[in-house]
Amino acid sequence: MTYLVCYSPHKDDIGAIDLACQFARSEHDTVHALTVVPRGWETAVAGDTDRDFEQWAAQEGAASAAEALEVLARHTDVVSTATWVAGRSVPQAVCEQVDALGASLIVVGSGENGPRGYVTVTSKTDRMLHSAAVPVAIAPRGYRPVPDSRITRVTMGFRDDDASWTLLDLVASICARIGASLRLVTFAVRPRRMVVSAMRDDESDIFAQWKSQAQAGLDEAVTHLRDQGLVDVEAVLAQGRSWGGAMDSVEWGREDVLVVGSSSTHKLAQVFLGSSAAKILRNSTVPVIVVP
């Protein structure tokens, strides 16, 4: 299995490569770093302008691949390669290479304009999330795992719907294979109180009933996993008055990864973020894997 990591020579953040190697180390798999450079026009323009541009792009691609190999060489226990391709669209070129390499996961970094330590989705990553047929992992900005570490705990966002139950068995099998513990989390974000005081009690009762149902779903999932032989599993109902508060109420470690499913109601087969998954992404301080 190959993890395809997107590498840009113009960014100081190498968190995506570190994350890809952390995944590969956990599964004894390989990492392939890919740089996408601009492609020249199909028809030549104004003398040798187009040819000069293509030569420049080729030099940039070759230099970037060499630089990626130097970074990858720090992970001496991970088998890795690096190449470059020319493309008009970075997301399209990456998805084409997924098919060519048989990659099982795309790994990208966060945007440079987002807060350090949090996941930030760039416009390119957003387009990739809407077109990728394989899961996409996003490293927080400035991600630095423990050197030579593996993934030791997987946290899965659990909605207690058909899509979550299907994803649950997949994630559980991976945890069993790599020796990681599994934690299920349902995020309970309390709605803002309404102005009319007469409706506050009804609103609180509805939220309390929803929490009770959510906890029952978590308990059922834990029982199901333990019946399947997965012992190291726990469940958390994370509460908060905002998505950030709910995320902060959960303890996160440097060897954690968070898995969320894409929208279960969208007709597209590719990764499509629903509102809940998008809010979880923006407030995450650990790597997030979005699964179609």
Give all strands of the β-sheet with 103-108 in edge-to-edge order.
80-87, 30-38, 2-6, 103-108, 136-138, 288-291, 256-261, 153-157, 181-189, 233-240
Q: Indicate the CATH number of 153-291 among 3.40.50.12280, 3.40.50.620, 3.40.50.1820, 3.30.56.10.
A: 3.40.50.620
**pLDDT 10s digits, 3-50:** 999 998 777 789 999 999 999 999 999 999 999 998 876 665 555 557
Mean pLDDT over 125-129 rounds to 89
pLDDT score at 50: 73
% of the chain exceeding 70 in pLDDT: 88
Residues near 155 by beta carbon (within 8 Å), at least 6 away in sequence: 182, 183, 184, 185, 250, 252, 256, 257, 258, 259, 286
Residues of the chain with CATH 3.40.50.620: 2-138, 153-291
**pLDDT 10s digits, 92-101:** 999 999 999 9
What is the pTM (predicted TM-score) of this model? 0.88
According to DSSP, residue 199 is labeled: G
Q: May I ask the CATH architecture of the domain 2-138?
A: 3-Layer(aba) Sandwich (3.40)
- Whether the pLDDT of residue 198 is over 70: the answer is no
Element spanning 224, H or E: helix 200-227
Query: Around 192, how many Cα atoms within 13 Å sit in the side-chain half-sphere?
Result: 3
Contact in structure between 133 and 292 (CB atoms under 8 Å): yes
| Total count of residues recorded for the chain | 292
Structure tokens at 77: 């226990």
- Whether the pLDDT of residue 203 is over 90: the answer is no
